């Protein structure tokens, strides 16, 4: 699928809003998050970026002490993440990696294996995005077990050092590696495709716990 202006603006607004919110500028972050949410009307109904935008609006409501509003946004975001499973199932996958000798041999020995490996990775990324939203709802409700489950899912996809997973661990009182990694900044996607759209949805929605740890 072609990379469109709507894709570009959504991503840039989410990146900028995340920084503004982390620095305490909730008003400007909120304007960008609302604009990004409006932009998702141009996306497919089950596009995971719809879930990420609803998640961000939940965090904005939580920051304004609107617990009921935050819970409603988080619930809608979790529903949207569930719906995004169908989007992930049919999303385009990058072909460039097949040019490596490893992937060429894998394809020759096990036809169809490479797409399945890629799809499994994409499902993990989606699970990590959903975990970020689940963590936000768990923090809102002081649900320690829900937060622990979310942290496990996030770590399974992104590792122990990823900033969201590390912040969840800190919230639970667990030790955290000093070298925390902001994956979006440290490992930005190189292609403009569906995998980038999914990666952005999973990483650019804020995790409330990240107010405790900043990469």
pLDDT at res. 78:
98
How many independent structural domains does the chain possess? 1
pLDDT of residue 2: 77
Q: Which of 24-38, 46-60, 69-83, 185-199 has the lowest mean pLDDT?
A: 185-199
Which CATH number belongs to the domain containing residue 82 in this structure?
1.25.40
Distance between CA atoms of residues 205 and 36, nearest Å? 11
Q: Is residue 109 part of a domain?
A: no
Q: Say yes or no to pLDDT of 172 above 60.
A: yes
**In a domain? residue 145:** yes
- Structural domain boundaries, residue 82: 5-86+122-211
Average pLDDT over residues 30-39: 98
Q: Does residue 182 sit within a domain? A: yes
Residue 207 lies in a domain: yes
Residue 97 included in any domain: no
Q: Crossing angle, helix 144-158 and helix 113-140, to 10 degrees? A: 150
Distance CA 125, CA 128 (A): 5
As a whole number, mean pLDDT of residues 169-186 equals 91
User: Is residue 40, in this structure, part of any structural domain at all?
Assistant: yes
pLDDT exceeds 80 at position 210: no
Assigned domain for 61 exists: yes
Q: Rounded CA gap, 74 and 94, in Å? A: 31
116 located within any domain = no
Lowest mean pLDDT among 2-6, 94-98, 127-131, 209-213: 94-98
Q: Which residues does residue 162 pair with via DSSP β-bridges, in sequence order?
A: 181
| Top-confidence residue, 169 or 100 | 169
- Give me the phi and psi of 181, to 5 degrees please: -115, 120
């Amino acid at each position: 699928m072609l990379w469109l202006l709507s894709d570009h603006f959504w991503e840039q607004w989410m990146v900028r809003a995340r920084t503004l919110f982390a620095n305490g500028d909730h008003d400007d972050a909120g304007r960008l998050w609302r604009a990004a949410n409006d932009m998702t009307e141009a996306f497919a109904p089950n596009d995971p970026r719809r879930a990420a935008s609803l998640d961000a609006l939940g965090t904005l409501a939580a920051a304004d002490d609107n617990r009921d509003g935050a819970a409603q946004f988080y619930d809608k975001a979790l529903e949207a993440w569930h719906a995004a499973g169908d989007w992930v199932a049919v999303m385009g996958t990058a072909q460039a990696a097949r040019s490596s000798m490893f992937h060429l041999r894998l394809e020759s020995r096990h036809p169809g294996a490479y797409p399945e490996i890629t799809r499994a990775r994409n499902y993990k990324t989606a699970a990590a995005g959903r975990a970020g939203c689940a963590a936000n709802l768990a923090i809102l409700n002081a649900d320690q077990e829900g937060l622990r489950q979310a942290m496990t899912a996030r770590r399974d996809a992104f590792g122990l050092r990823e900033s969201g997973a590390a912040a969840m661990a800190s919230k639970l009182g667990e030790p955290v590696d000093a070298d925390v990694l902001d994956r979006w900044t440290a490992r930005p996607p190189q292609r403009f495709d569906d995998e980038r759209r999914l990666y952005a949805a999973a990483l650019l929605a804020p995790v409330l716990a990240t107010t405790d740890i900043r990469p």
